[in-house]
Amino acid sequence: MSLTQPKSPPPPRHDARSGRIGYAAAFGMVLASTAVAELLNRLLQTNRLSPVFLAAVLITAVTFGSGPAYFAALLAFGIYNFYLVEPRFTLGEFTAEDILLLTIFLAVAMLTGRLAGRVRDQAASAQARARTTQALFEASREFSGLNEEEFIRSGLLKHVSEVAGAPAALWRDGACRTSPEGAAVPSAVREALAGATAAGSIAGWRVRPLMVDQPELGNLAWRETGARTRGEDPLVDVLVDVGAAAIIRARLGAAEAEVRAMAETERLRNALLSSISHDLRTPLASILASVSSLREFGDRFEPAVTEDLLSTIQEEAERLNQFVANLLHMTRLEGGGLGVTAVRTDVREVAGRVVDRLRRRVGRRSLIIAQDRLDVRADPILLEQALGNVVENAIRFTPDGSTIELDWRRDGERVLLEIADDGPGVPPEDLCRIFEKFYRSPALSANLQGTGLGLSIVRGLMESMDGGAEARAREGGGLIVSLHLPAGDET
């Protein structure tokens, strides 16, 4: 099916009803001016009353446009000639002065009507363009806040219908949507929408594709109306182009987000592999070395040496177990599959198990824990994992001779656990990032290995138990990590 190429927008037109009203009003205005002229003629005894008729022509032009104004000018010319020019009530016996007067009157009346009508028509056209431009601005602002392609299509269809002042239809992937919903679309227009490759007109509808230097994004059509003024169709086309550009932007945004997600996934994968390669290799190397020594020279070692090698095997195996547990917890936290069983739990008991498990790694540091009994509502296994990660982190980053303190207290309906150390602390610019995955402060971890998962898992575990984790600098140097949980006596 061929589409006729659109021509330039037609000049201003009005429908038949409004045209009849304009000409009838022009006739009434001239009759009213005739009555006024007759009254003035009797009162002032003068027939120099052309301004009265010019006023009628001017009012008609401003109110109803050029056509009715021309009609009013011709009618006023005839009535003025027949009714007021001496000899009255005749169309003959003109003097030179009468001819000059009538000619000037007709010229002035026509010029006045033309100028005033043009001003009126231009004002109406400017108002229409202003309305369309405002609609274009509103649509652009709306599209700028949308990232979903389907929402943009729906908004575009609605705005085109509003600007065109007529039904509009959008064809995409074999489906036709209309605005207003359920509006009738001729079958010829539907066929054109299904296969249009260029803008055109058919059956009184304007059809054009959505395209921005790319394959088609769909086809759009709206019914053309004779009431629209010059300049509206180009602005509707601009609105369609803005919508197409918004769809392209949404697609590019989605593609960019996908690329960023892939890049972030690749970065995390590389960071994880780098950390795993060391954190698995180091304890495995220690275990293999200890086992090999025991197998080859076990009968020659002193009992103390044998015990030390066995302790090394146990400690490194526990490190591996802790490392694997961290990875499993992180996977479950991100996948939403972490099972939490919150029960009344004694903080002192959990802290005691943590200290017993890490006692060999404390070295020559002082580990001080509070002895007060205080209950929280938490999963005891997950709480032990979180608390152990914080204490292990403190051990890792503090030198021998440092002091690590575990304390807890009631704070309203919450219980606050604080793990404080007097080590080097964390630079202020890193405090807000130490709970991020794989983040390790460059100022502190240059010579230390690790995945950077410990504290991020702590925050995830605490939040899964309706708690939280924060960190702040300690006065005099060091770091304080605060964990808070609901009190155990909460119902």
Give the torsion sign (CA, 178, 179, 183, 189): negative
State yes or no: pLDDT of 377 exceeds 70. yes
pLDDT, residue 427, reads 83
Q: Region 276-287: what's the mean pLDDT?
A: 72
CA torsion 258→263→269→274, rounded to 10°? 180
pTM for the structure as a whole: 0.45
pLDDT, residue 272, reads 61
For the ranges 76-90, 165-179, 327-341, 401-415, the one whose mean pLDDT is highest: 401-415
Nearest Cα to 436, choosing from 449, 450, 454?
A: 454
Count how many residues are written for the chain.
Answer: 491
d(CA 196, CA 1): 9
State yes or no: pLDDT of 334 exceeds 70. no
Report yes or no: 349 and 394 within 8 Å, Cβ to Cβ. Answer: no
For the ranges 128-132, 202-206, 435-439, the one whose mean pLDDT is highest: 202-206
Least confident of 193-202, 307-316, 419-428: 193-202
State yes or no: pLDDT of 3 exceeds 60. no
State yes or no: pLDDT of 429 exceeds 90. no
Question: What's the chain's average pLDDT?
Answer: 76
SS3 string, 14-55, reads: CCHHHHHHHHHHHHHHHHHHHHHHHHHHHHHCCCCCHHHHHH
Report yes or no: 386 and 425 within 8 Å, Cβ to Cβ. Answer: no
State yes or no: pLDDT of 445 exceeds 60. no
> What string of DSSP letters covers 197-250?
-S-EEETTEEEEE--SSSS---EEEEE--TTSPTTHHHHHHHHHHHHHHHHHHH
pLDDT band at 174 (very low <50, low <70, confident <90, very high): confident
AA identity, residue 343: V
Between 356 and 275, the more confident residue is 356
Q: Region 247-258: what's the mean pLDDT?
A: 82
Residues 49-74 have pLDDT tens digits of 767 777 777 777 777 776 777 777 77
d(CA 116, CA 122): 10
- For residue 484, the SS3 value is strand
pLDDT, residue 12, reads 42
d(CA 108, CA 43): 26
State yes or no: pLDDT of 475 exceeds 80. yes
pLDDT, residue 443, reads 56
Between 251 and 264, the more confident residue is 251
pLDDT band at 2 (very low <50, low <70, confident <90, very high): very low
